[in-house]
Chain A
Amino acid sequence: MPHSSHKKETKGSVYNTLKLEKTTNPLSSFMVCPAVKFETQSAEEKIILMLRAHPITNLGWIVLSLLALFVPAFWEFLPADLLPTKFWWAGIVLWYMVVALFVVEKFLDWYFNVYIVTDERVVDIDFYGLVYRNMTVTQLNKLQDVNFKQTGGIAAMFNYGDVFLQTAGEQREFDFHRVPKPAKVVEIIYELVQEEEQEVLEGRIR
């Protein structure tokens, strides 16, 4: 029997347990066994977790955008003869276009900057600005230490924090920033690492 099919039958106790809690909400920041695919995913690789920053971390730009909606109302207090009426209206349209682009950009930034944990590796997908992207990958069997840090009252109240993954490779540290349920994330990754180590011992590596 080839290794891969043997592995398919015997591996995946963490996956099999978690798939009962499968997340279907695409806007969730803690997705368990989501129905998504990422660019370098292999055919047999299963996504266990997909994480993004806790929604509460978006509060700053959401409040700012809501306040920005009311800014043109205060333009009435400027001298009326400063600009012809048609340019006033053009200014208002321009302002709302700026706000719309700001909101879209911030949402995309939150939505697509994700951390993925599969049954084989950990993937960090980052997008910076408009066209730059960065994908960092580390194998589960290279992880040496997994821990998390929760700082501040808001993080404790909404149960989010930073998860740190120390790798044996050249890459120094793998960080998940402001992800929900950090203790649960650490627990799942720890179980996956143990499962991976067991496979190495039994010679069931893909």
Chain B
Amino acid sequence: MELNQLINTNEVLDIVLKWGFVLVFTMFFVFTLLIYRQVQLMSRTLAGLLEPALKLIAVGLIVGNLVVLVMAVMVL
């Protein structure tokens, strides 16, 4: 295999891997939104326990995943 071909193969692999990771991170981001929705639904059904803390954790997951998603687009 010539050098040019090898470089091209690596570039294609890089692009495929990058957008593969971005896709998976996007799916995780959607999943964290669903978890926030779930916490809201659960808190409406049963109130008076740890709702503020659980909502904070759910928001933390959303923010964390958003940061990871942006970083993946920029760095990878």
Chain B residues lying within 8 Å of A90, measured Cβ to Cβ, are 21, 72, 76
- A84, B61: Cβ atoms under 8 Å? no
- B65, A97: Cβ atoms under 8 Å? yes
Chain A residues lying within 8 Å of B54, measured Cβ to Cβ, are 108, 111
Mask, B42-62, CB within 8 Å of A = 1, is 101111111000100110010
- B76, A34: Cβ atoms under 8 Å? no
Please pick, from A38, A87, A93, A101, the residue contacting B31 in the complex, using a CB distance under 8 A.
A101
Interface set, chain A 61-119, CB cutoff 8 A to B: 83-84, 86-87, 90, 93-94, 97, 100-101, 104-105, 108, 111-112, 114
User: Measuring CB to CB, which residues of chain B are less than 8 angstroms from any residue of chain A?
Assistant: 14, 17, 21, 24-25, 28, 31-32, 34-35, 37-39, 41-42, 44-50, 54, 57-58, 61, 64-65, 68, 72, 75-76
Interface of A is mostly: mixed
Interface of B is mostly: helix
- B35, A112: Cβ atoms under 8 Å? no
Chain A residues lying within 8 Å of B47, measured Cβ to Cβ, are 36-38
Chain A residues lying within 8 Å of B76, measured Cβ to Cβ, are 86-87, 90
Chain B residues lying within 8 Å of A125, measured Cβ to Cβ, are 45-46
- A105, B35: Cβ atoms under 8 Å? yes
Asked, given contacts A86-B75, A86-B76, whether A39 binds B44 with beta carbons under 8 Å apart, the answer is yes
- A75 CB, min distance to chain B CBs, angstroms: 16
Interface set, chain A 116-161, CB cutoff 8 A to B: 125, 127, 130-131, 133, 135
Number of A residues, CB within 8 Å of B:
30
Closest residue of chain B to A38 (Cβ to Cβ) is B46
Q: Is A35 an interface residue (CB 8 A)?
A: yes
Asked, given contacts A108-B38, A127-B42, A130-B38, whether A101 binds B17 with beta carbons under 8 Å apart, the answer is no
Q: Is A169 an interface residue (CB 8 A)?
A: no
Please pick, from A26, A37, A38, A104, the residue contacting B35 in the complex, using a CB distance under 8 A.
A104
Closest residue of chain A to B25 (Cβ to Cβ) is A94
Please pick, from B21, B44, B46, B72, the residue contacting A36 in the complex, using a CB distance under 8 A.
B46
